[in-house]
């Protein structure tokens, strides 16, 4: 009898203990292309971990600690959907977040719609995530291709260069960026001509023929969307063959340390770029982030670090506002949610679920064999998004 009572008491204690433990943790399920894109995603993961550490040290969110569970999506849309399902069913995560490549982000966007689960896309830049393929369950942090191109085009129009060529990775992000550049520049400069276009498989740029084809088009300017290893090969071959000499070059993302640093003494001078001049931002918010990051990692942050940090801060702010992690609660909380980030306060717009995080634009400079950004300024994303009325037309299913 005593043994039976003891077992019953133990079972009762366990029954109470398990829910208490589960209720004390907020599980964030994050998936990304860690093996395929380490330059951006290794610092990004550090940014997430710093934010989790800070939030938990301050008592968590609504009295609960954050737990970050990361998985690799193999840079593949099908694998991403499978990993997202595993995070929900096996790990019992409360929310989904992450993704880097645009076509992978779109796959998880569709998964979130089908499963009716909250998803915060951190890095994928395609406009489809919040517009054509947007849904009630998906929000996006980083400024989109439209936003970043819209930041650059006014400066491009001032150049008054007529003949432009484009080079980009041949998948959703590159295609979207190229189409947006042509559309917006045509509006700003009606006499512009697009005289050449090179679309290369992601990560498989054959730089020699691509650069020569661009030269043969005799352009006045070059719009580049390549990044990572493709960017390095393009710059090396372009320098060797003289593609950039006497021509304006406009380039998305190239000013991010992830992609600028590896160029070293091959860094071209004078490119107009979006990026992240980490050592020249003197705002209180960024200074505090920089000090905390350097103290923890003894390294300087990359743009990925900021994105990862702001991602977790956004989720924490959403949970705090929602008072829980239920999908409907989180969706309602994120509409109009304001979040403090290293780049300042941002808002997740109710009309399309896009945050107003901005970007830095400036020029590249080869500073003694090291690439840096100069003549830069921060542009608030609020002013580079369509009006609510236009946005309604861009989200036909909403």
**Domains by residue range for the chain, with CATH:** 17-143+282-357 (3.40.50.2300), 146-280+360-384 (3.40.50.2300)
Reported pTM: 0.92
pLDDT tens per residue across span 225-253:
999 999 999 999 999 999 999 999 999 99
Q: What percent of the chain has pLDDT over 90?
A: 92
More confident residue, 29 or 203: 29
Residue 276, pLDDT above cutoff 80: yes
Segment 6-17 shows an average pLDDT of 40
How confident is the model at residue 17, as a pLDDT? 38
How confident is the model at residue 396, as a pLDDT? 80
User: For residue 291, which phi and psi values (nearest 5 degrees)?
Assistant: -65, -45
Residue 16, pLDDT above cutoff 90: no
Do 283 and 344 meet the contact criterion of CB atoms below 8 Å apart? yes
How confident is the model at residue 35, as a pLDDT? 96
Helix axes 38-57, 284-297, angle to 10 degrees: 100
């Amino acid at each position: 009898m005593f043994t039976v009572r003891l077992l019953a008491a133990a079972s009762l204690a366990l029954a109470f203990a398990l829910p208490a433990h589960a209720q004390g943790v907020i599980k964030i399920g994050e998936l990304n292309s860690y093996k395929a894109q380490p330059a951006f995603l290794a610092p990004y993961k550090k940014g997430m971990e710093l934010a989790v550490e800070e939030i938990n040290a301050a008592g968590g969110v609504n009295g609960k600690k954050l737990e970050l569970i990361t998985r690799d999506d193999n840079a593949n849309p099908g694998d991403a959907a499978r990993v997202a399902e595993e995070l929900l069913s096996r790990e019992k995560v409360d929310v989904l977040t992450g993704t880097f490549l645009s076509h992978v982000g779109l796959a998880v966007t569709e998964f979130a719609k089908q499963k009716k689960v909250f998803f915060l896309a951190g890095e994928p830049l395609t406009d489809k995530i919040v517009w054509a393929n947007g849904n009630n369950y998906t929000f996006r942090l980083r400024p989109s291709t439209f936003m970043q191109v819209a930041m650059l085009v006014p400066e491009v129009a001032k150049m008054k260069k007529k003949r432009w060529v484009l080079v980009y990775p041949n998948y959703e992000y590159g295609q979207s960026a190229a189409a947006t550049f042509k559309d917006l520049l045509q509006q700003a400069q009606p006499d512009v001509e697009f005289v050449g276009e090179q679309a290369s498989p992601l990560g498989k740029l054959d730089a020699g023929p691509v650069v020569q084809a661009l030269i043969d088009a005799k352009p006045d300017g070059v719009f580049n969307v390549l990044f990572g290893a493709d960017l390095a090969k393009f710059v090396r071959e372009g320098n060797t063959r003289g593609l950039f000499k006497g021509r304006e070059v406009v380039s998305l993302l190239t000013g991010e340390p992830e992609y600028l640093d590896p160029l070293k003494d091959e860094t071209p001078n004078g490119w107009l770029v979006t990026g992240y001049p980490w050592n020249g931002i003197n705002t209180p918010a960024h200074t505090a982030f920089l000090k905390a990051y350097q103290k923890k990692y003894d390294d300087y942050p990359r743009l990925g670090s900021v994105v990862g940090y702001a991602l977790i801060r956004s989720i924490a702010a959403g949970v705090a506002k929602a008072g829980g992690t239920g999908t409907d609660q989180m969706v309602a909380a994120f509409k109009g949610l304001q979040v403090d980030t290293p780049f300042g306060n941002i808002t997740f717009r109710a009309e399309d679920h896009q945050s107003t995080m901005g970007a830095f634009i400036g020029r590249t400079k080869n500073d003694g064999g090291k690439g840096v950004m100069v003549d830069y300024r921060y542009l608030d994303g609020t002013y580079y998004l369509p009006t609510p009325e236009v946005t309604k037309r861009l989200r036909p299913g909403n």
